[in-house]
Amino acid sequence: MRYRGSATIAAVVAGLVLIAGFAVDARSTIAAYLVAWIAWGAIPIGALILFMTSYLVRRRWTVALHPVFVAATGLLPVVALTFIPVLLFMRDIYPAIADGASLPSFKAHWFTPWFFVLRTVFYFAVWIGLSGWLRRSWRNDEAMVHSASAGAIVGVLLISFAGIDWVESLEPEFHSSIYGLIYLSFTLVNGTAFVIAGGLLSPRPIGPSRGYSGLLLAVLLLWCYLHAMQYIVIWSGDIPKEVTWYLVRSQHGWQFALAVLSLGQFVFPFCAMLSSKVRSDPHWLLALCALTLGMRGLESAILILPAIHGLSPATTAVMLIAAAVFLGLVLLFAFEASLARGPESNGSIAAIWPRTRGETEVR
């Protein structure tokens, strides 16, 4: 494609900036890298859950989005490899791994470095195995049900554990029984927005956008509900170690980031999709998907950066941009390559498929 040369140069430059950042200020750089990785890495993980759902809820979108599901979940090995820097510098940002002496016995053993690495490898090995099982089950009704049913149970549990390991453990004294589900909703929202956007940009027709707007709205409502439940439970309980999590994110400018996240990820999309015109317009839906992906980066920063002390604001900001560009382009290249290998696509995502008024509604 025409942009590939410039994009490759941008990815190389961003990678070199990250290398320099690790040499100059490893703590700030790995914190910024983790923010970008959590935001981008959630895409194939969330797409995997939606892929399973498409096998259990047989509708038109099961077939229409299948090539996008295959390509998106095909990113899991790439996402696993790009997590290696986090494992190499995990002592710089995870207090429980750097020094677990002050923690209870179970937590101290749970967050030993080798066990943390082993769990991460296990998560990705299972997810990659599940994605392969789903691909092999395509067009075999019985196999589709079996792979999706077993995969949904195992996949959801492991995603919840991964969220606790990768994000909640940044603050080992904080505990939320719903945190794993919050991370699950994070990945599901990201994966859904990406898959819908990939389908809209594909030259292969996926059907009218009204049904996909409903799908996006449903996962956004789930995301909002889980965050609201955590806030209500923690604030009503008034336990200092838990309430502090919100207090830290209500000062030093983070309160404005929270306001933007609330407006951009719930209030605006919800109000917009009340309009039949917006729900039926693929351009509007594509814009809402793009907004959702952008909000994941903001939410990732809110979840991670306030938990890590001693960061250089300037270095973190520069490295966050570099990490977002590098990881975003690497995943884009891998996604296009996966699409190109598919039997039903030519790998292009350059043009929005035009709709006609006579099409049948997505069920």
Residues 191-209 have pLDDT tens digits of 999 999 988 887 776 766 7
Residue 312: strand, helix, or coil: coil
- pLDDT at position 141 over 90: no
At 312 the pLDDT is 93
- Buried b vs exposed e over 226-239: b needs ≥16 C-beta within 10 Å? bbeebeeebeeeee
Confidence of residue 156 (pLDDT cuts 50, 70, 90): very high
Residue whose token pair is 């965050």: 227
- Amino acid occupying residue 130: L
How far, rounded to the nearest angstrom, does the alpha carbon of residue 341 sit from its chain's CA centroid? 24
Tokens of 239: 């336990």
At 164 the pLDDT is 93
Check if the beta carbon of residue 37 is closer than 8 Å to that of residue 83. yes
- pLDDT at position 272 over 80: yes
List the alpha helices (DSSP H) in 167-250. 179-201, 210-237, 240-248
CA distance 341 to 162: 30
CA distance 218 to 10: 35
List the alpha helices (DSSP H) in 25-140. 26-56, 60-64, 66-73, 76-82, 84-88, 95-98, 105-110, 113-137
The domain limits of the chain are 4-339
Residue whose token pair is 């794993």: 180
Residue 230: strand, helix, or coil: helix
CA distance 325 to 322: 5
Higher pLDDT, 4 or 227: 227
CA Rg, the chain, in Å?
20
- pLDDT at position 347 over 70: no
Among candidate residues 334, 316, 306, 338, the one with its CA nearest the CA of residue 36: 316
Higher pLDDT, 116 or 139: 116
Check if the beta carbon of residue 288 is closer than 8 Å to that of residue 272. yes
Among candidate residues 11, 40, 25, the one with its CA nearest the CA of residue 313: 25
Among candidate residues 199, 129, 116, the one with its CA nearest the CA of residue 161: 116
Check if the beta carbon of residue 82 is closer than 8 Å to that of residue 33. no
At 357 the pLDDT is 32
Residues 316-343 have pLDDT tens digits of 999 999 999 999 999 999 998 888 776 4
Check if the beta carbon of residue 23 is closer than 8 Å to that of residue 102. no
The pTM score is 0.89
Q: How far is CA 284 from CA 240, 279, 362, in A?
A: 43, 7, 17
CA distance 59 to 73: 20
Residues 60-110 have pLDDT tens digits of 777 888 899 999 999 999 999 999 999 999 999 999 888 777 777 888 888
How confident is the prediction for the chain on average, in pLDDT?
Answer: 87
